Chain A
Amino acid sequence: TQLLEQSPQFLSIQEGENLTVYCNSSSVFSSLQWYRQEPGEGPVLLVTVVTGGEVKKLKRLTFQFGDARKDSSLHITAAQPGDTGLYLCAGPKPNFGNEKLTFGTGTRLTIIP
């Protein structure tokens, strides 16, 4: 079973639209990270959220950590084709301190020009 479930699994929208993807768990995480991965490349770290209720913005991307630190969301405003990619959330694997990361199931986003 996956500790971090992401939804939707696939999302295809028109350029200019807004979207939200979710990362949910039944476990509490001390922090969560969001990565974007493009085909044939490694994941690139976008943001780390640490405090329950925290909101971080990265240009058109807004990341929120749930109050209970069990979930997180990523909202993209006015999506552009360059936003296309696999979005992964990740958090410290329980019972292993901060050493290992467990990754979510991923959301594959396609922005249609």
Chain B
Amino acid sequence: GAVVSQHPSWVICKSGTSVKIECRSLDFQATTMFWYRQFPKQSLMLMATSNEGSKATYEQGVEKDKFLINHASLTLSTLTVTSAHPEDSSFYICSARVLAGDYNEQFFGPGTRLTVL
């Protein structure tokens, strides 16, 4: 399957700082990537859809000024958590969409655990 990487795998930061998370498709080009958030013992919650060369589309309730997404190339999308606060602590996962005939498949990165002190 397609390989997606994320960096960093974990990060600890102070409240009020900004943190950037990178998502890369390693062996394929991805015009569309997705960013998810996962709380402990819960399922994945879609935050936003990242489209190469255009603005990201955010799910209802997700602050676009808080979670900045940039998809500047066909293999890289970045999520920046601005002015992070303890409630932003979570497991952030990206995925890249791969067309598979009549349906799409998503391949996920290994996730980034963010802890805001």
Interface residue ranges, A against B (CB under 8 Å): 30-31, 33, 35, 40-45, 48, 50, 88, 90, 92-93, 98-106, 108
Sample of 15 further A-B pairs with CB below 8 A, known A42-B93, A48-B105? A30-B102, A30-B103, A40-B91, A42-B6, A42-B108, A42-B111, A43-B93, A45-B1, A45-B106, A88-B43, A92-B103, A93-B46, A99-B104, A100-B34, A102-B46
* Bound CA–CA A102/B49 (angstroms): 13
- Using A100-B46, A101-B46 as known contacts, say yes or no to A48 and B100 having CB atoms under 8 A apart: yes
Interface residue ranges, B against A (CB under 8 Å): 1, 4, 6, 32, 34, 41-46, 49, 91, 93, 95, 97, 100, 102-111, 113
B1 touches A31 (CB 8 A): no
List B contacts of A88 (CB < 8 A). 43-44
